[in-house]
Amino acid sequence: MPPHDHAGRRARLAARLSADDVDGLLVTSPIHVRWLTGFSGSNSALFVPADPTEARVSALLATDGRYTAQASVEVPDLSVLITRRCAPALLEQLGGAGIARIGVEAAHLSVADFDELRRVTPGIDLVPTSTRVEELRVVKEPGELALLAAACAISTSALEYVVESGGWSGSSERELAGRLEAAMRQRGSDGTAFETIVGTGANSAVPHHRPGDRILERGDLVVIDFGARVGGYHADITRTFVLGRPAPWQVDLHELVRSAQRAGRGALAPGAPCADVDRAARGVVEAAGHGAEFVHGLGHGVGLEIHEAPFLGPGATGSVRADVPVTVEPGVYLPGRGGVRIEDTVVVTDTGPTVLTTTSRDLIALD
């Protein structure tokens, strides 16, 4: 795997901070701490100076005693402050070093935590900022794309194994989810990217159905939405199957969603407005009279978070760029009857979209 350039990422963040007129940024999103340092523990805060050449304090990580050893392995290049009160203790130290104005991540600091920071360090101006790190994370580096590809390869291999193993008839949704998750673990997944969705029969029309005790019946549509996680990076894939011979309406619905998905993928080119990518797929569904039953956006960025910028939906702003991974996941849901969703994780490139979740999109009949 190509290594992550954490120092380079911090330098790019520092360059952005100069416009904010702050001495640095207090990073409180654990995802952002991971992206900027490599540290993957659950309790942390990070200070990134705006001008590393003139800074009175260099980048400094705080975490608690459970992570002392892990931090020294994952972040050999930074000083680490060991404390349970990560953000307040970091700020107290910075205040003592003469730092006077610090940006905070408005979307990743609770009101209570913000109030506590103001109380313990009254001499420091806290300046709310937004999306400083999120925007840097949108375009992925080769090492990030390699981890995403690995997570997607594990996911597709696990699905193919579970499909080929048979035994679907008589199984419950919960059992199917368990089989898939075990197959991903055996293939090297660190865990699931999100709670596995298995919706059968009428439950397939519930976009985020939580797998329950329902036993599969002949004639069921089966929506499976899941993903592996590797090195923090999330795969996201959905396929829709049928148990036994499909009815004509099921074949038609599947073909419609598949056409919409193809149109969405086809619209993914550097510079394409996010709303236009959604429109390309949604227009296909609307033309077939099912627009009202496509109840969510077309897709989302994916990386260290399962849902991250950019978002592809009606009213979305911005454009997609090269080396940005997104999902393309149209669905049509007929309440009480069943639904179809087909989803791939796709990387936008200058030479066309690269699909990472490469397994068949056919309506496979299971038994």
Return residues touching ligand GLY (CB under 6 A): 194, 225, 236
Q: Is 74 in the site for Mn ion (CB under 5 A)?
A: no
Closest separation between CB of residue 239 and ligand GLY, Å? Answer: 12
Select from Mn ion, ligand GLY, none the partner in contact with residue 173, using the beta carbon and a kind-dependent cut-off of 5 to 8 Å.
Answer: none
Place of tokens 């099921």: 250
E strand residue ranges, 53-167 = 60-63, 79-82, 101-105, 125-129
Q: Looking at beta carbons only, is 23 or 225 nearer to ligand GLY?
A: 225
Rounded Cα distance between 127 and 12, Å, is: 19
Rounded Cα distance between 263 and 294, Å, is: 15
Total interface residues for Mn ion by CB under 5 A: 2
Q: Is the peptide bond before 310 cis (omega within 30 degrees of 0)?
A: yes
Contact (CB, 8 A) for 231 and 1: yes
Q: Is 327 in the site for Mn ion (CB under 5 A)?
A: yes
Q: Looking at beta carbons only, is 74 or 225 nearer to ligand GLY?
A: 225
Closest separation between CB of residue 23 and ligand GLY, Å? Answer: 38
C-alpha gyration radius of the chain: 23
Q: Looking at beta carbons only, is 28 or 196 nearer to ligand GLY?
A: 196
Place of tokens 């400083």: 132
Closest separation between CB of residue 10 and ligand GLY, Å? Answer: 30
Closest separation between CB of residue 325 and ligand GLY, Å? Answer: 13
E strand residue ranges, 228-341 = 228-230, 233-234, 237-243, 299-301, 308-312, 324-328, 331-334, 338-341
Closest separation between CB of residue 236 and ligand GLY, Å? Answer: 5
Q: Looking at beta carbons only, is 17 or 326 nearer to ligand GLY?
A: 326
Closest separation between CB of residue 9 and ligand GLY, Å? Answer: 26
Select from Mn ion, ligand GLY, none the partner in contact with residue 121, using the beta carbon and a kind-dependent cut-off of 5 to 8 Å.
Answer: none
Q: Which of 236, 278, 305, 308 binds Mn ion (CB under 5 A)?
A: 236
Q: Give the distance between the most distant pair of CA atoms in the chain.
A: 72
Q: Is 23 in the site for Mn ion (CB under 5 A)?
A: no
Contact (CB, 8 A) for 321 and 270: yes
| N-terminal to C-terminal alpha carbon distance within the chain | 39
Q: Looking at beta carbons only, is 49 or 299 nearer to ligand GLY?
A: 299
Q: Looking at beta carbons only, is 103 or 264 nearer to ligand GLY?
A: 264
Buried b / exposed e over 19-42, threshold 16 CB at 10 Å, is: ebebbbbbbbbbbbbbbbbbbbbe
Q: Looking at beta carbons only, is 27 or 312 nearer to ligand GLY?
A: 312
282 CB-near residues (< 8 Å, 6+ apart)? 260, 291, 294, 298, 314, 330
Region near Mn ion per CB under 5 A, out of 47-55, 147-155, 236-244, 269-277: 236-244
Q: How far is CA 66 from the centre of its chain?
A: 26
Closest separation between CB of residue 27 and ligand GLY, Å? Answer: 26
Contact (CB, 8 A) for 206 and 200: no
Place of tokens 């610090």: 102
Closest separation between CB of residue 81 and ligand GLY, Å? Answer: 36
Select from ligand GLY, Mn ion, none the partner in contact with residue 161, using the beta carbon and a kind-dependent cut-off of 5 to 8 Å.
Answer: none
Residues that bind Mn ion (CB under 5 A): 236, 327
